[in-house]
Chain A
């Protein structure tokens, strides 16, 4: 009996390990980057060109209100992916472009958040703020809405 239980436990462990691995592979394969705003925000959709401009410091308006981009540095892979796949710049080139624009009087650089909790909190207090995050994290939060799909891993 004890031996049967041991074999059953081993089998369950094996199945669990395999399915965890499969889930990980599936999640990685479906990784999607999205732009989000607070659910109550007036922002509906944003074009990819406008998103690039916005995060490079160019004012993008909805009505009379200027959108405020927030940088999500809570996950270095996410931030790097956003710069490479959406802004089409290396981190160094991006930082340099923002500094040059700021030096020219083109406005402040996007605020950087290392903590996702603080980022979401800032997003919820500003109806005209947007940020980027992985789709699974965005859909898990009912107080956020997706306003653009930015990139999907093949």
Chain B
């Protein structure tokens, strides 16, 4: 759930057309699952109470945010495709749209993708029901200091196999985000706002092809144009590590990001670097109940020139909560957190209902 609170926007004609197209695709085809096409709907409603916000902060003290993530996936022989649309009161976007060709263990795709960095963004995307917590880590929120999407090509597959263990790779190249009030993702539908080069590499090791436990590393190089500012461009290099370990009833997720960036303006340059990481622990103490906690920390961010663009980025966040799976496809979560941004800190209490249909 995005923390940032933008002015409500009217869906563009192009996005409405995309939604209509999505509906037309899903309605007749999902009832014939033999056609290898499936639609998934992830609705959620989140009630938020915040205390300690500065006066006139753009975040509200009390807020209810309904949202809907719609995913349609399909395949015909070696060809597969995917479309994901995320709609909430405050934002709407064609989050992903891609078509791919599989040859053996290799999948080559073109379209709009989530970035390849880390674990969270490549696992849960916008499906609130799939993630145990309510809040995403700050690094995959809209106010994050790295481009969350790119438009281009992606290739993924198996690099090597040791016994049952697999080393997988993903490589992506394309056009990334533009820096305005925050990093604006590129759009396929609607007025184009493509950034410059975005390169990503992700390597992960899994115990076997179906094991959820994995560890990995990632690298990214982004060139980000800056609009309406004295700076005209940002060159960003990111490296990091991630891991997900699951052994019922326990689960631990961790990610570490190392940022290095250079800003260029008319005759001036500046540079900065910082570290960001989080660890999340989960314990399923009853068949349908899970307790969780997460610590997010940023180091070396003081006076960082990139973060100066992003005052809403959560530098540190500590949260605890409970999740109860009410039915096979619905859950209720409650979460308390303490958030520290560049400019302020506040406390937050959230309750969320989330589901997946069908």
In the complex formed, the residue of A with least CB distance to B288 is A92
CB of A96 closer than 8 Å to a CB of B:
yes
In the complex formed, the residue of A with least CB distance to B156 is A105
**Is there contact, CB below 8 Å, between A102 and B130?**
no
Cα–Cα, bound, A90→B100 (Å): 32
Known: A52-B210, A105-B82. Contact between A99 and B130, CB under 8 A?
A: yes
Cα–Cα, bound, A90→B288 (Å): 11
Cα–Cα, bound, A128→B38 (Å): 19
**Is there contact, CB below 8 Å, between A105 and B80?**
yes
Cα–Cα, bound, A53→B74 (Å): 19
Cα–Cα, bound, A111→B33 (Å): 6
Contacts of A78 in B (CB 8 A): none
Report B227-238 CB contacts with A as 1/0, cut-off 8 Å.
Answer: 000000000000
Contacts of A148 in B (CB 8 A): none
Report B103-114 CB contacts with A as 1/0, cut-off 8 Å.
Answer: 000010100000
**Is there contact, CB below 8 Å, between B71 and A102?**
yes
Contacts of A105 in B (CB 8 A): 73, 80, 82, 98, 100, 107, 109
Counting chain B residues whose Cβ lies within 8 A of the other chain, the interface size class is 35 or more
CB of A103 closer than 8 Å to a CB of B:
yes
**Is there contact, CB below 8 Å, between B37 and A108?**
yes
**Is there contact, CB below 8 Å, between B36 and A95?**
no
Known: A92-B328, A99-B356, A111-B33. Contact between A104 and B123, CB under 8 A?
A: yes
CB of A122 closer than 8 Å to a CB of B:
yes
In the complex formed, the residue of B with least CB distance to A58 is B209
CB of B250 closer than 8 Å to a CB of A:
no
Q: Is the interface of B mostly helix, strand, loop or mixed?
A: mixed
In the complex formed, the residue of B with least CB distance to A61 is B104
Cα–Cα, bound, A95→B127 (Å): 14
CB of B325 closer than 8 Å to a CB of A:
yes
In the complex formed, the residue of A with least CB distance to B102 is A59
**Is there contact, CB below 8 Å, between B127 and A108?**
no
In the complex formed, the residue of A with least CB distance to B30 is A108
Report A75-107 CB contacts with B as 1/0, cut-off 8 Å.
Answer: 000000000000000111101110110111101
Within 8 A of B (CB), among A6-28: none
Contacts of B325 in A (CB 8 A): 92
Q: Per a CB cutoff under 8 Å, which of B73, B75, B130 touches A100?
A: B130
In the complex formed, the residue of B with least CB distance to A57 is B210
Contacts of A92 in B (CB 8 A): 287-288, 325, 328
Cα–Cα, bound, A99→B329 (Å): 11
**Is there contact, CB below 8 Å, between B210 and A58?**
yes
**Is there contact, CB below 8 Å, between A91 and B127?**
no
User: Smallest CB–CB gap between B12 and chain A, Å?
Assistant: 25
Report B296-317 CB contacts with A as 1/0, cut-off 8 Å.
Answer: 0000000000000000000000
**Is there contact, CB below 8 Å, between A102 and B40?**
yes
User: Smallest CB–CB gap between B162 and chain A, Å?
Assistant: 16
Most B CB atoms within 10 A — which of A90, A92, A99, A103?
A103
CB of B34 closer than 8 Å to a CB of A:
yes
**Is there contact, CB below 8 Å, between B34 and A108?**
no
Cα–Cα, bound, A107→B81 (Å): 9
Q: Per a CB cutoff under 8 Å, which of A58, A91, A104, A108 touches B75?
A: A108
CB of B212 closer than 8 Å to a CB of A:
yes
**Is there contact, CB below 8 Å, between B34 and A111?**
yes
User: Smallest CB–CB gap between B326 and chain A, Å?
Assistant: 12
Name B residues whose Cβ lies closer than 8 Å to a Cβ of A.
33-34, 36-38, 40, 71, 73-75, 77, 80, 82, 98, 100, 102, 107, 109, 122-125, 127, 129-130, 209-210, 212, 248, 287-288, 325, 328-329, 356
Name A residues whose Cβ lies closer than 8 Å to a Cβ of B.
52-53, 56, 58-59, 66, 90-93, 95-97, 99-100, 102-105, 107-109, 111, 122, 126
Q: List 15 A-B contacts (CB under 8 A).
A: A58-B209, A66-B77, A96-B130, A97-B212, A102-B73, A103-B40, A103-B127, A105-B73, A105-B100, A105-B109, A108-B36, A108-B38, A108-B73, A109-B38, A111-B33
